[in-house]
């Protein structure tokens, strides 16, 4: 069977990338070998010159031999430097060929990563035709914060030492710290408003504003930053209509979070929507990854 056009189109960049990678490896090995040989040969040459200099001081007839040895060492150094320079040029050219071929291959049709909704569908619905669903988010706001806090205080205690366990329970239940709940904590316990403010601001996991139904984490580690993570974040904020200074859109569908690293540097730039990761994205591709879970506004 004859290969399809996409398969034939991918052949050229694959071969070019393979050749570039092979030449890079060979050049690195040759440069390493040249360096090792130079390190081994240098002490030997120094010893030969030192011995001849000692003999010249005793017998001037050794002077021509010393001069010849100097010329030999100089010629060898020049020859080695010339060879290393050529290898360095070839190495740079091969590395450029490999990078260009890899980018060419990724840009070909059929090589682009699947969008988020398709990845989730493949993972959660192996049977054809099964509807795409997202994990339900617990709706903790069905219970009034005051009633919930009373139960937590009875379990954790009323002392100041119970501040963190109480706040953790509220955060886990509501996904943020509602003002009504915090006010009730101060009424029922020895915990002061100042202590709550200090604790909730010190620990980054505590939120004072409501969290969106879906959390979008944009990796801003070194690899992702270099690959354009800032452009992804700016475009996502624009498309999700997140106001300046906020991290959640007005409908509380998405919360955009910038994180230090997601551990997927080889896929940079990377985003994670809830527990699903997608990499090698452009700003437009990052927005497409959210289209499968966007809920249209009700008119």
CA-nearest of 148, 144, 142 to 166 is 148
CA-nearest of 184, 189, 162, 159 to 174 is 184
Q: Is there a cis peptide before residue 269, judged by omega within 30 degrees of 0?
A: yes
Contact predicate 246/208, CB 8 Å: no
Q: Evaluate if residue 299 carries a pLDDT over 60.
A: no
pLDDT digits over 231-257, tens only? 989 999 888 888 888 888 888 888 888
Distances (CA, A) of 198 to 101, 149, 192, 210, 277: 53, 19, 10, 19, 33
What pLDDT sits at residue 86? 92
CB count, 10 Å around CB of 16? 17
What pLDDT sits at residue 206? 85
Please report, in angstroms and rounded to a whole number, the separation of the first and last CA atoms in the chain: 53
Q: Evaluate if residue 8 carries a pLDDT over 60.
A: no
Q: Evaluate if residue 3 carries a pLDDT over 50.
A: no
Q: Place 211 in a pLDDT band, splitting at 50, 70 and 90.
A: confident
- Arithmetic mean of pLDDT, 251-267: 86
Q: Place 129 in a pLDDT band, splitting at 50, 70 and 90.
A: very low
Q: Evaluate if residue 150 carries a pLDDT over 70.
A: yes
Q: Which residue has the higher pLDDT, 33 or 121?
A: 33
Burial 120-130 (b: 16+ CB within 10 A, else e): bbeeeeeeeee
- Paired tokens of 257: 């979070």
pLDDT digits over 42-76, tens only? 888 888 888 888 887 888 887 888 788 888 888 88
Please state the pTM of the whole predicted model: 0.44
- Arithmetic mean of pLDDT, 137-146: 57
Q: Evaluate if residue 296 carries a pLDDT over 50.
A: no
Q: Evaluate if residue 118 carries a pLDDT over 60.
A: no
Q: Which residue has the higher pLDDT, 134 or 44?
A: 44
Q: Place 190 in a pLDDT band, splitting at 50, 70 and 90.
A: very high
What pLDDT sits at residue 58? 83
Percent pLDDT > 70 in the chain is 81
Average confidence score pLDDT of the chain: 78
Query: What is the three-state SS of the chain?
Result: CCCCHHHHHHHHHHHHHHHHHHHHHHHHHHHHHHHHHHHHHHHHHHHHHHHHHHHHHHCHHHHHHHHHHHHHHHHHHHHHHHHHHHHHHHHHHHHHHHHHHHHHHHHCCCCCCCCHHHHHHHHHCCCCCCCCCCCCCCCHHHCCHHHHHHHHHHHHCCCHHHHHHHHHHHHHHHCCCCHHHHHHHHHHCCCCHHHHHHHHHHCCCCCCCCCCCEEEEEECCHHHHHCCHHHHHHHHHHHHCCCCCCCECCCCCEEEEEECCCCCHHHCCCEEECCEEECCCCHHHHHHHHHCCCCCCCC
């Amino acid at each position: 069977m004859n290969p399809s056009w996409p398969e034939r189109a991918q052949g050229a960049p694959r071969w070019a990338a393979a050749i570039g990678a092979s030449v890079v490896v060979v050049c690195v090995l040759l440069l390493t070998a040249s360096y090792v040989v130079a390190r081994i040969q240098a002490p030997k040459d120094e010893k030969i010159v030192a011995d001849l200099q000692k003999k010249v001081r005793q017998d001037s007839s050794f002077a021509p031999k010393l001069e010849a040895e100097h010329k030999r060492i100089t010629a060898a150094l020049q020859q080695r430097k010339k060879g290393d320079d050529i290898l360095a040029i070839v190495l740079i050219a091969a590395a450029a060929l490999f990078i260009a071929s890899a980018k060419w291959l990724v840009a070909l049709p059929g090589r682009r990563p699947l969008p988020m909704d398709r990845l989730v569908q493949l993972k959660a619905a192996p049977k054809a035709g099964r509807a795409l669903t997202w994990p339900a988010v617990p709706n903790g706001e069905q219970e009034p914060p005051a009633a919930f806090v009373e139960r937590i205080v009875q379990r954790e205690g009323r002392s100041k030492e119970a501040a963190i366990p109480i706040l953790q329970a509220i955060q886990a239940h509501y996904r943020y710290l509602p003002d009504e709940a915090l006010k009730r904590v101060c009424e029922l316990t020895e915990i002061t408003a100042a202590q709550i403010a200090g604790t909730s601001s010190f620990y980054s996991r505590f939120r004072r504003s409501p969290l969106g139904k879906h959390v979008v984490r944009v990796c801003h580690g070194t690899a992702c930053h270099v690959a354009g993570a800032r452009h992804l974040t700016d475009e996502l904020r624009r498309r999700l209509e997140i106001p300046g200074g906020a991290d959640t859109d007005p409908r509380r569908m998405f919360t955009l979070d910038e994180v230090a690293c997601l551990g997927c540097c080889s896929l940079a730039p990377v985003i994670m929507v809830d527990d699903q990761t997608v990499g090698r994205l452009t700003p437009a591709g990052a927005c497409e990854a959210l289209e499968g879970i966007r809920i249209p506004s009700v008119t």
